[in-house]
Amino acid sequence: MSSPTNTVEANQQQLWQLQQQATQHPQQYWGQHAELIDWVNVPSTILDDSNAPLYRWFSDGVLNTCYNAVDRHVEAGHGERIAIHYDSPVTGQQQSVSYAELQQQVAQLAGCLQQLGANKGDTVVIYMPMVVETVVAMLACARIGAVHSVVFGGFAAAELATRIDDAKPKLVLSASCGIEPSGTVAYKPLLDAALAQSQHQVEHCLILQRPQLSAELTPDRDLDWQQSVSAAPLADWIPVKATDPLYILYTSGTTGTPKGVVRDNGGHAVALAWSMQAVYDIKAGDTFWAASDVGWVVGHSYIVYGPLLVGASTVLYEGKPVGTPDSGAFARVIEQYQVRSFFTAPTAMRAIKRDDPAGAQCRRYNTDCLQAIYLAGERCDPDTLEWTSQVFGKPVIDHWWQTETGWAICANLQGLTPLPIKAGSPATAIPGYQVEVLDEVGEQVAANQSGAIAIKLPLPPGTLPTLWGNDQRYIDSYLSRYPGYYLTGDAGYLDDDGYLYVMSRLDDIINVAGHRLSTGRFEEVLAQHPSVAEVAVIGVADKLKGQLPLGLVVLKAGAIADQQLDADLIGLVREQVGPVAAFKLVTVVEKLPKTRSGKILRGTMRQMADNKPVKVPATIEDPAALELIQQALARLGYGTQSVA
Ligand code: COA
Ligand code: AMP
């Protein structure tokens, strides 16, 4: 028997070999993993680089993602196995859906979508809460080759309208309400407002009436979900090309206009199926739980597609880590469904820790079924990692990824080559990703030196092939800064063992409770206020949510700074971006610090707010402006240390 040290060495060696294989022989490496999927036409071209830097995977493959996620398990005799455990503490409902039941529901909704005119290649926007019907809706689109675009429920009407205008859906699927601990959130008025604002119009909206709140339907346009679906025929799945889009998911960019990340069918299915086993150590029949929302990429990949592709059971949880009803909720769900691998955001663990520092509520439940806990979505501070590991007594695996990649870039591969955990690092690059840290001119920096984190092209299967309808924006945003590389937008360093440390963003994106938001979008909204002359929004450190947006506004001459103005500005962001923005910090300043060329010194203000060493740029136009910022930040309780 090998000693633990030997196992570590053997795993390191094996990981290194896999990384080499995936880099040097990507065709062979990913070709062998394509066997995890049932194909109509097995691909013979694994990597198509004929249009580089836009790469395509499995380009002559034909498959159906819904068939792979649902039907094939039923055909293999596992129809009775639970596909979805729906657990909703906010409504008091629990429901288990078998693979056979899921197949029936998906086929019937797919038939309904076809009756309403949605066909292969058409887009369908899904604006829904965490209910079984949302998963069914995604799979029904996949079944008929329609491209879904799920919009997170916490976004406001204006954000939904932007996405409707970009995706140009044939149909919108929505529900009467979502349920938050604070009460029901009526979705239908938000949808109506979005459709009133958007230029693109849809023929029909299919509305799920929830018993908690009924929505008024617009005659002719809106249709009742239950009535329409119950009258629809069952639709069979249809073959699509591996390179056909499965979904579009909008994510924040540096400008206010979100980017429509495209996911293909073939690469996505292969990558997710492989990751379930290698990253999360999950196989058919196991229970996997990602406590996220289907509106985010984590929800797409690991509430819906990943677990179902491998025939596991997934947990769909409509609740919060705390307050529904208490901070033992996660542990209760883990015990109840015998979850083997559990995935959440560090902020959720911080919320539990804040309510119950000793973890007593979690310890009331037996969570021995857990193999490991996985955290992602934001940087995981070592304290949170250690606290989680102590309370649950299991390995806590930080892993790093983005909406764009759709699955992890760096992770400690629990199902393949587990390595020692280093708190603060999401471990090493997953085979298929060549992660490098680059300096200003694109040279690799030495170990332990910080720089821009970039990934050498081609990216592996499952990652974005482009942005929806906009190859040029994809190239400009990600591929131009360092030719031959994908720019992640994150900054950090690699240590001597090849462990990555992701420390910050290089752009104006902030991360609020694991939600990615653009400060540019906040600024756009605040600038609309008639009293505002100029505005800067920065992300400031927050113990619970990781970061919070903080707005510094300069008023037009004659405008009055008072509490009403603050409330109006806060209300404006809530109304136009949504409650998820958590925008509550705003103050008026006389002027914003700028360079002599007029660039606002957001980075400097962020350092001041977070009490970090402040480097005042030599090009600053008026150093006195920093003092005014210091006073303004202090009014909000930030940046209390003086600037040297
Ligand atoms: N529909 C409508 N409104 C929503 C919503 C949804 N799907 N999700 C959130 N909101 C609203 C909330 O009701 C809240 O509104 P309020 O200002 O009226 O209270 C606001 O958006 C902010 O919500 P949230 O981000 O949940 O903050 P919180 O302070 O209520 O809770 C946490 C804090 C840490 C418990 C919570 O953010 C959390 O669970 N985070 C985990 C995040 C996560 O899973 N991220 C996915 C990446 S892996
Ligand atoms: P999103 O596209 O919403 O998933 O956000 C992706 C961004 O979240 C990344 O680019 C990082 O900035 C941050 N992020 C996600 N996971 C991690 C992690 N494990 N460590 C550090 N940052 C992370």
User: 580 alpha carbon to ligand 1 midpoint, in Å?
Assistant: 6
Verify that 610 and 481 share a domain, yes or no.
Answer: no
Test site for ligand 2: of 252, 374, 511, 580, most ligand atoms within 8 A of the Cβ:
511
Tell me 281's DSSP state.
-
CATH code for position 32 = 3.40.50.12780
Please measure the distance between the N-terminal and C-terminal CA atoms of the chain and give it in whole angstroms. Answer: 58
Q: Confirm if 207 and 224 have CB atoms less than 8 A apart.
A: yes
With a 6 Å cutoff on the Cβ, whether 502 touches ligand 2 is yes
**Pocket lining: 300 vs ligand 1, CB cutoff 6 Å:** no
- 158-176: pLDDT as tens digits: 999 999 999 999 999 999 9
Q: What pairing do the DSSP bridges indicate for beta strands 222-224 and 204-208?
A: parallel
Pocket flag, ligand 2, residue 133 (CB < 6 Å): no
For residue 72, being part of any structural domain is answered with yes
Question: Does residue 396 contact residue 385 with C-beta atoms inside 8 Å?
Answer: yes
Mean pLDDT of the chain: 96
517 within a domain of the structure (yes/no) = yes
Q: How far apart are CA 183 and CA 90, in angstroms?
A: 9
> Please, which residues bridge with residue 57 across strands?
47
The closest of 241, 248, 294, 235 to 265, measured between CA atoms, is 241
What does the DSSP assignment read for 544-578?
TTEEEEEEEEEEPTT---SHHHHHHHHHHHHHHT-
Structural contact between residues 243 and 268, judged by C-beta atoms closer than 8 angstroms:
no
Per-residue model confidence (pLDDT) at position 107: 98
Q: What is the pLDDT of residues 529-577, one digit of tens each?
A: 999 999 999 999 999 999 999 999 999 999 999 999 999 999 999 999 9
Q: Tell me, what's the pLDDT at 614?
A: 87
Above 80 in pLDDT, residue 256?
Answer: no
Position 2 scores a pLDDT of: 47
Assess whether 147 and 227 both reside in one domain.
yes
Residue 548: CATH number of its domain: 3.30.300.30
Closest-CA residue, ligand 2 atom 15, reads 377
Band of pLDDT at residue 391, cut at 50, 70 and 90: very high
370 occurs within a structural domain: no
**Is the shortest distance between the CB of 346 and ligand 1 below 6 Å?**
no
Identify the nearest ligand to the CA of 252 by its number.
Answer: 2
Q: Is the pLDDT of residue 142 over 60?
A: yes
CA atoms of 613 and 119, how far apart (whole Å): 56
Phi, psi of 597 (to 5 degrees): -85, 5
Taking CA atoms only, the protein residue closest to ligand 1 atom 5 is 154
- The number of the ligand nearest the C-alpha atom of 351 reads 1
Read off φ and ψ for residue 456, nearest 5 degrees: -65, 140
> What tokens does 280 get?
């999360």
In a domain, 374, yes or no: no
Cβ(175) – ligand 1 distance below 6 Å: no
Q: How far apart are CA 419 and CA 422, in angstroms?
A: 9
Cβ 141 vs Cβ 170: under 8 Å: no
Residue 74, pLDDT above cutoff 50: yes
Tell me, yes or no, whether 10 lies in a domain: no
Planar angle of CA 324, 547, 628, nearest 5 degrees: 135
Name the percent of the chain lying above pLDDT 90. Answer: 94
The pLDDT value given to residue 253? 77
**Could you give the angle at which helices 26-33 and 266-278 cross, rounded to 10 degrees?**
80
Q: Is residue 87 part of a domain?
A: yes
Lowest mean pLDDT among 134-143, 424-433, 521-530, 608-617: 608-617
**Within this chain, do residues 181 and 302 fall inside the same structural domain, yes or no?**
yes
Angle at 108 between CA 105 and CA 109, to 5 degrees: 85
Summarize the confidence of residues 493-522 as an average pLDDT. 94
Question: For residue 624, what are the domain limits?
Answer: 513-635
Type of residue numbered 321: P
Same domain, 282 and 415: yes
For residue 567, the tally of other CB atoms under 10 A from its CB is 11
Specify the ligand 1 atom closest to the Cα of 129: 7
Pair (26, 121) in one structural domain: yes
pLDDT attached to residue 459: 98
Give the residue, by CA position, lying nearest to ligand 2 atom 6. Answer: 402
My answer on whether 87 and 169 are in the same domain is yes
**Does residue 644 have a pLDDT over 70?**
no
Structural domains of the chain, count? 2
Whether 455 shows a pLDDT value over 80: the answer reads: yes
- In whole angstroms, give the CA distance from residue 378 to residue 368: 26
- What is the amino acid identity at position 63? L
| CB 323 near ligand 1, within 6 Å | no
The finding on whether 380 has its CB within 6 A of some atom of ligand 1 is: no
Instruction: Mark whether 455 and 552 lie in a shared domain.
Output: no
Q: How far is the CA of 601 from the centre of ligand 1 (A)?
A: 30
Longest CA span, the chain: 80
Does residue 246 fall inside a structural domain?
Answer: yes
**pLDDT exceeds cutoff 60 at 3:** no
**Mean per-residue pLDDT for 355-378?**
97
Instruction: Tell me how far apart the alpha carbons of residues 504 and 514 are, in angstroms, rounded to a whole number.
Output: 14
Does 106 score more than 70 pLDDT?
yes
Q: Same domain, yes or no, for 563 and 436?
A: no
Is residue 486 domain-shared with residue 564, that is, in the same domain? no
Q: How confident is the model at residue 643 (pLDDT cuts 50, 70, 90)?
A: low
User: Which residue owns the Cα nearest ligand 1 atom 45?
Assistant: 514
Nearest bound ligand to the CA of residue 344: 1
Task: State residue 642's pLDDT score.
Answer: 61
Boundary of a domain, candidates 445, 460, 492? 492
Q: State the distance from the centre of ligand 1 to the C-alpha of 514, rounded, in angstroms.
A: 10
Q: 268 or 2, which is more confident? A: 268
Which of 365, 430, 366, 364 has the alpha carbon at shortest distance from 397?
430
Residue 254 has pLDDT above 90, yes or no: no
Which two structure tokens, joined as six digits, stand for 358?
A: 């000793």
119 Cβ neighbours under 8 A, 6+ residues apart: 144, 145, 146
Q: Report pLDDT digits (tens) over 219-253.
A: 999 999 999 999 999 999 999 999 999 999 999 87
Residue-wise pLDDT tens digits, 7-53:
999 999 999 999 999 999 999 999 999 999 999 999 999 999 999 99
Evaluate whether residue 345 is within a structural domain: no
Same domain, 624 and 483: no
- Is the Cβ–Cβ distance between 410 and 435 less than 8 Å? yes
CA pair distance 55, 96, nearest whole angstrom = 40
Check if the beta carbon of residue 273 is closer than 8 Å to that of residue 265: no
Instruction: Report pLDDT for 405.
Output: 98
Tell me the pTM: 0.95
Distance of CA 35 to the CA centre of its chain: 27
Kindly state whether residues 43 and 91 are assigned to the same domain. yes
CB of 348 closer than 6 A to ligand 1? yes
The per-residue pLDDT for range 188-221, each reduced to its tens digit, is: 999 999 999 999 999 999 999 999 999 999 999 9
Protein residue closest via CA to atom 19 of ligand 2:
400
Cβ-based neighbour number of residue 364 at 10 Å: 12
Per-residue confidence (pLDDT) for residue 616, from 0 to 100:
85
Contact indicator for 523, 532 with CB cutoff of 8 Å = no
Mean pLDDT of all residues in 330-350: 98
Least confident window among 174-188, 454-468, 538-552, 607-621: 607-621
Does the beta carbon of 460 sit less than 6 angstroms from any atom of ligand 1?
A: no
Whether 84 and 207 map to the same domain: the answer is yes
Amino acid identity of residue 15, one-letter, is L
**pLDDT for the residue numbered 1:** 43
Q: Tell me, what's the pLDDT at 380?
A: 94
